[in-house]
Amino acid sequence: MSVYLDFNSSAPIDRRVLDYMIDIYKNTVGNADSRTHDFGDNARKVVENARSQVARLLDINKDEVFFTSGATESNNIAIQGLKEYGLKEGKKHIITTSIEHKAVLESVKAMEKDGFEVNFLDPDFSGRVSAKTVLDAVRDDTLLVSVMHVNNESGIIQPIQEIGNALEEKRVLFHIDATQSFGKLVDELQTVKYNMLSMSAHKIGGPQGVGALVLRKHRYKLPPVKPIMYGGQQEHGIRPGTIPVALVGGLGKACEIAQIEHKQNQDKCRKIKNVLVGELKDSGLKYRFNGDQNYCIPSTMNLCIDGVSSEALMISSKQYCSVSNGSACNSNSYKPSYVLTAMGIPEEQINNSIRISWGAEESIDEISSSFNNLLQVAKDLIW
């Protein structure tokens, strides 16, 4: 069977999360916002417990956590929810990077249509957008800086600590898309200064279709984000709609597990990466990593194998392992990755690049032997 090595697209659900969710589906009836009976109270207990579990993992208050359908929605609310405030205050400048997820890129483009000016900053060859580049772009009328923590394609960690520290003094709102780091780079996310943060449960063994937008209070006040959908007062009106109790419970459980296990998970992921790098070295293939590996998360590798088309490699090695050549959200487009392009990587190298991403619960032996098979296939494909 093919070994799944595409965790950055979506990680398999943790068995313990699934069991907890099944229990909720079986035993918790009702709407968490019903106030007239015990069923509502019980559903609300599950939701509020999950809110505490998310908050604990980020070391924030539970009233700063707002459940959404996932990071796409969180990013949309964080950015487009600032429209009214930005227009009213005459703050119509937004800074982001050219390597953000489309949920950020397309949200800021929607803001451009409403008269906002957006700077899209490029990374250098390392895959990082320097803090200086970001901070030099800040103006008096800058409303928002939105920078992802870890890039989903390259795995490269962005300098959010430095950016957050500097922005705090400038009264500019800072949004972090932490979808690829949440539950993994736990210490960093507990200490970084930010106003808004987006995440999705399914990247850390939780269910698909649920996530959170974190809005940090400053002097007891939430950031000036308005809802972008209307229809109910759930989640303080920030995200109307019936709360999916079992999904939210699953997110909470995944956070509880990550809180206990993230350190050992990162160690195991690093071990796996070392094994894969060792196999690459021994393979005799000519390869290079996309992005400076000193800044790469230990569960991702974006790799160019010289002379081997990624499309051909992915198809020919499918029976051994399942990898990708970029974000699943764009994988039906045949355009070269915009992330690798922005890093200054030549198109030919991009066409020969694959992304491999894994999790800690996988067996090192299985990953290692499936990757070895992929490398053997690569050798046969060199032209």
Q: Min. distance of Cβ 186 from ligand PMP in angstroms?
A: 17
Answer yes or no whether residue 180 interacts with ligand PMP by CB under 6 A.
yes
Contact between 313 and 321 (Cβ < 8 Å): no
DSSP structural state of residue 212: E
Q: Min. distance of Cβ 94 from ligand PMP in angstroms?
A: 17
Centre a 10 Å sphere on the Cβ of residue 223 and count the other Cβ atoms it contains: 20
Cα 69 to Cα 128: distance, rounded to the nearest angstrom: 29
Q: Min. distance of Cβ 259 from ligand PMP in angstroms?
A: 21
* Count of residues touching ligand PMP (by CB under 6 A): 15
Helices (H), 92-149: 102-113, 131-136
Cα 189 to Cα 258: distance, rounded to the nearest angstrom: 13
Q: Which is nearer to ligand PMP, 179 or 353 (CB)?
A: 179
Contact between 324 and 7 (Cβ < 8 Å): no
Catalytically active residues are 329
Record the tokens describing residue 226, joined without a space: 């308005």
Answer yes or no whether residue 155 interacts with ligand PMP by CB under 6 A.
no
Q: Which stretch binds ligand PMP (CB under 6 A): 59-67, 123-131, 172-180, 218-226?
A: 172-180
- Site for ligand PMP (CB under 6 A): which residue of 58, 103, 173, 248? 103
Q: Is 350 left (phi over 0), alpha (psi -120 to 50) or beta?
A: alpha
Q: Is 30 left (phi over 0), alpha (psi -120 to 50) or beta?
A: left
Answer yes or no whether residue 340 interacts with ligand PMP by CB under 6 A.
no
Rounded to the nearest 5°, which phi and psi values hold at 375?
Answer: -65, -35
Binding mask 193-222 for ligand PMP (x = CB under 6 A): -------x-x--------x-----------
Q: Min. distance of Cβ 348 from ligand PMP in angstroms?
A: 26
Q: Which is nearer to ligand PMP, 199 or 305 (CB)?
A: 199
Q: Which is nearer to ligand PMP, 152 or 290 (CB)?
A: 152
Q: Which is nearer to ligand PMP, 146 or 372 (CB)?
A: 146
Dihedral of alpha carbons 100, 106, 213, 216, sign:
positive
Binding mask 262-301 for ligand PMP (x = CB under 6 A): ----------------------------------------
| DSSP state letters, 250-282 | HHHHHHHHHHHHHHHHHHHHHHHHHHHHHHHHH
Contact between 121 and 97 (Cβ < 8 Å): yes
Site for ligand PMP in 43-102 (CB under 6 A): 70-72, 101
Where does this chain bind ligand PMP (CB under 6 A)? 70-72, 101, 103, 148, 152, 177, 179-180, 200, 202, 211, 327, 329
